[in-house]
């Protein structure tokens, strides 16, 4: 945990940003989530906004911030004798409140009374849209509304205030993210060294997820460890590595306080790229480099995405896969055949930072909105960048047989794509190169030590 002062200051900033709103802010912790019977739960993961404002990494708590009176309450139940027998001595609610810099602590049973009193006197209860069914039901019961009305009743003012605060990282948060990056470095270099014919994808997954568990709170999301890199979120990993293919690993760790990293590397099995792979790899790497050169305060991330897409189109024109003017090809959305995803996303306490709060407020803003246009429709982040933001840059090129077939059959972008030539690349799979950056005063810098990235660096690491 950070100091109580840190959490108090963050909540004071929240109250300031919500000046004029009035009412109560309800910040719920996550509860335990049963996997297959009530006592066998998934790994506990705290709600990131609750973590940000309190630092408390335990289930079942609620923080209430009174915007009118400026007082704060932590609600939680003290451990019972039974809890102590099974799970050992635990801090009391008052202990947690003290560490979070919250003055009042009381049992959860009082939540209903406090909220009911606010509702009865016509005061607004601000909450973020819940993402677990149990919390939706809880909020419905507390406010006396139908579960179906909970999402729509979430507070826009609270969403905007939380996004404003969490988007800009404090130096102490950057330091934590870089700890996660150090673990990510070890995960990815381990995967590269294991990338030999005959090794199971699952062996590599087990090895790298083990590193995440040894060094911190485990993985930030289920690892992608696959020779089928063209399947963007491929979670199956039952194949054995074969010479001539490439292994795509998209994996990240959470450090002890749950700050994340999120890296992707693509390594040739056996440690040597063939010519076809190397040509495509270098285009993706060039797009990654370009993204980092352009990322700076006031830049629209959407424009960086389009610049990276144009770089990819230029590279593919040189190889004869794309025809015509690269800029016009990108305007028509032709790059989406090869990169059907966005260039990146914010990252912090969530690997997709604040995705639960609503993309409209997180990835976009008053000035920008997600476009329906081909080649932009999957972009999670489009808004203007600010100093202190942390995000990924993750261009890729993929050869997805079903998508190529569909585009060919429907004649999509046929003026810009040489389908005969593209089909020769089916079987190559997919390449993605993902780094994590911090927006600085002048531009951006990498978070953590750079993982092997050039063809030479990857081949050297894979050859070890």
Residues lying near Mn ion in the complex (CB under 5 A) = 262, 392
- Which C-beta is closer to Mn ion: that of 6 or that of 223? 223
Closest listed residue to residue 434, CA positions, set 311, 285, 246? 285
User: To the nearest whole angstrom, how small is the minimum distance from the Cβ of residue 238 to Mn ion?
Assistant: 23
Q: In what order do the strands lie in the sheet with 62-66?
A: 104-106, 72-75, 62-66, 24-28, 125-126
User: To the nearest whole angstrom, how small is the minimum distance from the Cβ of residue 464 to Mn ion?
Assistant: 26
User: To the nearest whole angstrom, how small is the minimum distance from the Cβ of residue 345 to Mn ion?
Assistant: 6
- Which C-beta is closer to Mn ion: that of 6 or that of 264? 264
User: To the nearest whole angstrom, how small is the minimum distance from the Cβ of residue 452 to Mn ion?
Assistant: 18
- Which C-beta is closer to Mn ion: that of 73 or that of 392? 392
The three-class DSSP label of residue 282 is: helix
Point out which residues pair with 106 in neighbouring strands: 75
CA distance 400 to 402: 6
User: To the nearest whole angstrom, how small is the minimum distance from the Cβ of residue 359 to Mn ion?
Assistant: 15
Question: Any idea what the Cα angle at residue 355 is, between residues 354 and 360, rounded to 5°?
Answer: 100
Structure tokens at 320: 């004869």
CB distance 50 to 90 below 8 Å: no
Question: Any idea what the Cα angle at residue 309 is, between residues 303 and 314, rounded to 5°?
Answer: 125
Dihedral sign, Cα of residue 262, residue 188, residue 180, residue 292: negative
User: To the nearest whole angstrom, how small is the minimum distance from the Cβ of residue 211 to Mn ion?
Assistant: 18
Could you please report the per-residue DSSP string of 157-213?
HHHHHHHHHHHS--HHHHHHHHHHHHHHHHHHHHHHHT--TT-BHHHHHHHHHHHHH
- Which C-beta is closer to Mn ion: that of 250 or that of 314? 250
Q: Which residues of 227-237 are buried (b: 16+ CB within 10 A; e: fewer)?
A: bbbbebebeeb
- Which C-beta is closer to Mn ion: that of 269 or that of 347? 347
Backbone Cα Rg of the chain = 24
User: To the nearest whole angstrom, how small is the minimum distance from the Cβ of residue 140 to Mn ion?
Assistant: 33
- Which C-beta is closer to Mn ion: that of 157 or that of 336? 336
CA distance 290 to 61: 44
- Which C-beta is closer to Mn ion: that of 64 or that of 232? 232
- Which C-beta is closer to Mn ion: that of 157 or that of 347? 347
User: To the nearest whole angstrom, how small is the minimum distance from the Cβ of residue 344 to Mn ion?
Assistant: 7
- Which C-beta is closer to Mn ion: that of 315 or that of 342? 342
User: To the nearest whole angstrom, how small is the minimum distance from the Cβ of residue 105 to Mn ion?
Assistant: 38
């Amino acid at each position: 945990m950070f100091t109580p002062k840190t959490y108090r200051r963050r909540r004071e900033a929240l109250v300031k940003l919500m000046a004029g709103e009035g009412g109560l802010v309800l910040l719920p912790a996550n509860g335990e989530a049963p996997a297959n019977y009530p006592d066998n739960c998934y790994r506990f993961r705290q709600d990131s906004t609750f973590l940000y404002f309190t630092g408390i990494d335990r289930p079942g708590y609620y923080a209430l911030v009174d915007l009118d009176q400026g007082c704060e309450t932590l609600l939680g139940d003290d451990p019972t004798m039974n809890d102590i027998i099974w799970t050992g001595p635990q801090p009391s609610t008052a202990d947690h409140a003290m560490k979070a810099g919250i003055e009042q602590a009381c049992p959860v049973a009082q939540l209903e009374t406090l909220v009911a009193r606010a509702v009865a006197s016509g005061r607004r209860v601000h909450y973020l849209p819940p993402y677990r069914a149990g919390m939706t039901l809880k909020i419905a019961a507390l406010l006396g509304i139908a579960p179906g009305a909970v999402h729509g009743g979430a507070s826009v003012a609270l969403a905007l205030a939380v996004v404003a605060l969490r988007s800009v990282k404090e130096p102490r948060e950057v330091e934590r993210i870089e700890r996660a990056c150090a673990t990510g470095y070890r995960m990815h270099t381990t995967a590269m060294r294991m990338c030999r014919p005959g090794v199971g994808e699952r062996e590599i997954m087990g090895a790298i997820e083990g590193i995440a568990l040894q060094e911190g709170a485990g993985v930030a999301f289920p690892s992608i460890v696959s020779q089928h890199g063209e399947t963007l979120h491929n979670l199956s990993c039952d194949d054995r590595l074969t010479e001539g293919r490439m292994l795509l690993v998209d994996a990240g760790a959470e450090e002890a306080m749950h700050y994340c990293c999120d890296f992707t590397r693509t390594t040739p099995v056996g440690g040597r790229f063939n010519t076809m792979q190397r040509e495509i790899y270098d285009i993706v790497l060039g797009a990654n480099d370009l993204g980092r050169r352009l990322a700076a305060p006031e830049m629209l991330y959407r424009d960086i995405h389009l610049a990276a897409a144009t770089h990819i189109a230029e590279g593919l024109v040189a190889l004869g896969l794309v025809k015509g003017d690269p800029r016009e090809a990108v305007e028509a959305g032709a790059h989406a055949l090869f990169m059907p995803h966005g260039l990146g996303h914010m990252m912090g306490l969530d690997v997709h930072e604040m995705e639960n709060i609503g993309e409209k407020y997180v990835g976009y803003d008053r000035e920008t909105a997600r476009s329906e246009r081909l080649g932009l429709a999957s972009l999670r982040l489009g808004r203007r960048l600010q100093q202190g933001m942390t995000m990924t840059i993750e261009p890729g090129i993929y050869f997805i047989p079903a998508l190529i077939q569909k585009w060919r059959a429907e004649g999509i972008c046929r003026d810009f794509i040489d389908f005969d030539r593209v089909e020769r690349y089916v079987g190559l799979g997919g390449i993605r190169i993902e780094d994590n950056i911090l927006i600085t005063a002048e531009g951006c810098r990498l978070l953590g030590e750079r993982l092997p990235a050039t063809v030479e660096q990857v081949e050297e690491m894979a050859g070890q």
